[in-house]
Amino acid sequence: MRQYIFLLLALSCQPLSAAAQFTQQQLAQFASQSTLSFAVAQKQPATPMQFNAAITLHNGSKFALPAGKSDWQVYFHLIRHIDTVELQGVKVEHVQGDLHRISPTEHFAGLAPAQQLVLPFSSAPWMVSYSDFMPRAFITATGLTPEIFANTDTEDFSAFVQPLVSPAQLQRNFAEGDQVAVVTPSGRFERNTALLSGSTYTDSRHRIIPAPLHAELRNQLVSLTPDWQIQFTDALQTEANYLQQQLQQQGIKLVLTSNKASEMPLIRLNITPELELGAEGYQLIISEQQISLNGKDSSGAFYAVQSLLALLQNTNGGLALPAGQITDQPRSGWRGMHYDMARNFHGKAVTLRLIDNMARYKLNKLHLHLTEDEGWRLQIPGLPELTDIGATRCFDLSEQKCLLTQLGTGPHASGGGNGYYSTTDFIEILRYATERHIEVIPEIDLPGHARAAIVAMKARYNRLMAEGKTKEATQYLLSDPDDTSVYLSVQNYNDNSANVCLPSTYAFIEKVLSELQKMYQQAGIRLNTFHMGGDEVAKGSWQGSPACQQLFAQSNDNIGTVADLKPYFVSRLAELTQQHKLVLAGWEDGLMYDQQNTFDRKLLNNKQIIANAWDNIWEWGVADRAYRLANNGYQVVLSPATHLYFDHPHEAHPQERGYYWATRYASIDKVFGFKPDNLYANADTTRSGASITDLPALVGRALPELTKPENILGIQGQVWSETIRTEQQLEQMIYPRMLALAERAWHKAAWEDTNDEAGRLRDWQSFAARLSEIELGRLNDSGSSFYLPPPGAKFSNTGWQFNTALPHLTIECSTDEGNSWQVCNTAELAEQSFLARSRHGNAVSRTVRLPLNQ
């Protein structure tokens, strides 16, 4: 890849000082008074899948960066890889992951006060979003504490990223051109108009989320008063306690009783196995003197509780419920949410809120992505380095006290994204989830994405070797010290593949697995499923490993080349988890020889192996792997990136957070429209936005049909956290898209099989009305942040018109740059520039500037 770099130096008349090194005070002043910023060029390369950009360092201090080679260095976070280059006196090089470095050479001319250094570069494939750029660049020098450039020490991208406004800055550089239009206020207005087309007001109080299988609810209300009691069978003590607590939060405290006879009005919780429903099904009957919650099993009873809570209405007389009946069951047994707190850790509180919200919407699998290249987030007794080092990022090139800083954390251990769950925290999370009928599935990502563990175990090795404990030092080592393999992972790491040829790697897995099982036992439950990760192992891993060459020489199992090592690793884990009586799960590519061929299921000694099928970029020809895996005996959880990756933007706009490698956007209605029972029917456009009319022709071959639908367990939403550093950012990416996920995971709509677009639109409008009228308020009451779509706007001869993708939101305008806001008065807005935003309670959307050309 070609790289360009040059210096633009507006030299002053005074010569630059070749003074000695910075003092700490001077370094701090330089960082606080100077700026480092990024810009995407308005002219992009003719070569597809590349872009031009520039980094600018402006010296706003009174101190000069001295000419010649010296010991200052500037570090910055950038998700795209810049190859090492030396030109006109500076060296720019990739360090690890997203961390890059600028350092002076003997040819550096210096940087005097008020001068700036501009460093253009090219990389691949695109940068069209502000959140592509990471905060907290810093400068350091030998013996000094690093100092963050003040303008980058923020989550406000406008402080360090130049505006993205021109078409060249906003469009991805495809060979065929980017056909996904960047959203404008008028374009958004037209899209919202289509979403609202033909809608008529309906009472949302009876339309719960997810929609039940069958509901007959009347306008007659049944009042809940303090003389009602909650009666339960012994097996439903936890569910009864939960209902009592939830009602108390609504202002009414009911007595719990297990008495069979009572003259008081009763809420009865029962397990009724004879119900003609599937697992987790329930029947809810609401009448004047009795409310019956009959579950096929305890989970069904719990979901009956959730439906009751969803139907609660506040009236002048207190709480009330509509009389009637619901009969309900889920479409699938796996209704999951994946949460990556390994890239950036957000704390226990937000995890517990996630569990609460999952339970409210009848999701039952929480897939916790506990480990990554950028962090290890669970305390493991006996392996303190995993969290002492692996849970903290800071500036330590030796990585003996922390991982090397990544993802905008900056140089200090106090930076955002650091932290972990203690064993006590994790046990609390397990108990909390279990009470809400959610299975927690831990993922320890191996053999790729394992850098945090590799670095931590190297530090452990060094510590024990210094203590003379050679045997103990190598016990859990994950890397071959003599490995000369050269590779670069998708996330730009060259040392993140655990060595699958070392016995110590499997000893490490055995240790972690055993400690996980102990935590589950302490929580009073059993670990059922272990997720190994297995994805995105960098090509070239283990090629230069003597340990692997030794394995090849000694193997009696046809392990003779590097190509045999992934299936070898999975077979070892299948055996190990089977011994522990565990289901093994992994990401789909971890179970594939290549794009089309799965590992031979018969050779994997585990009764149940689950694959998360995620990579459904239609034109890449791998979307059929979900069906190939299912047909070949694996159980599959549909986790498609084009629809169910909640780390992707809500709409195609540079101010929207998130990566966009799978799709430019995943709006709430797009998630709602996903069809789990016909994967290929979801193939709407390519990544570039081109319409797909013939998927087999696009792929260039026939696509397999699903012959074993019983092996599709369900669906799962994913949130990856590379660009998500705070709790609020996390929840605004998850909610309310997770509610649309829950709708599709639990309820199969009639329009899914018939392609009835009018029916889908009516269903969406009903869902959206319930969401905005009731569920956003419930999210707010739970303390959760959530995303609001910004308003669409259109100007005509009648003045400004506004709308939103969700009905019943307030639209506010500001004519004083956001200092004050009022409900938009179109008569006052025609002749001036103003800002607009959506509001629901205290939550607001991002602002939109109008007219667009001002």
456 half-sphere exposure, CB direction, 13 A CA radius: 28
- The C-alpha atoms of residue 53 and residue 4 are separated, in whole angstroms, by 10
Which DSSP symbol is given to 783?
Answer: T
- The C-alpha atoms of residue 586 and residue 613 are separated, in whole angstroms, by 9
* Alpha carbon of residue 686 to chain centroid: 22
CB atoms within 10 A of CB 87: 15
Residue 651 a catalytic site member: no
CB atoms within 10 A of CB 494: 17
- The C-alpha atoms of residue 540 and residue 538 are separated, in whole angstroms, by 6
Specify the DSSP element, H or E, that contains 453.
helix 451-466
* Alpha carbon of residue 536 to chain centroid: 17
Q: 543 with 476: CB under 8 angstroms?
A: no
435, 439, 536, 575: the active-site residue: 536
Q: Is 656 helix (H, G, I), strand (E, B) or coil?
A: coil
208 half-sphere exposure, CB direction, 13 A CA radius: 28
Q: 294 with 270: CB under 8 angstroms?
A: yes
Q: Is 493 helix (H, G, I), strand (E, B) or coil?
A: coil
Q: Residue 218 has which token pair?
A: 């009347």
Q: 407 with 98: CB under 8 angstroms?
A: yes
Q: Residue 588 has which token pair?
A: 């789909």
How close are the terminal C-alpha atoms of the chain, in Å? Answer: 38
Which CA distances in Å does 292 have to 287, 306, 307, 314, 531? Answer: 9, 13, 12, 21, 38
Q: 625 with 588: CB under 8 angstroms?
A: yes
Q: 423 with 342: CB under 8 angstroms?
A: no
CB atoms within 10 A of CB 486: 11
Cβ-based neighbours of 546, under 8 Å, separated by 6 or more? 480, 482, 483
- The C-alpha atoms of residue 279 and residue 735 are separated, in whole angstroms, by 27
- The C-alpha atoms of residue 840 and residue 788 are separated, in whole angstroms, by 8
Phi/psi of residue 348, nearest 5 degrees: -70, -40
Q: 576 with 680: CB under 8 angstroms?
A: no
Q: Which active-site residues does the annotation give?
A: 536
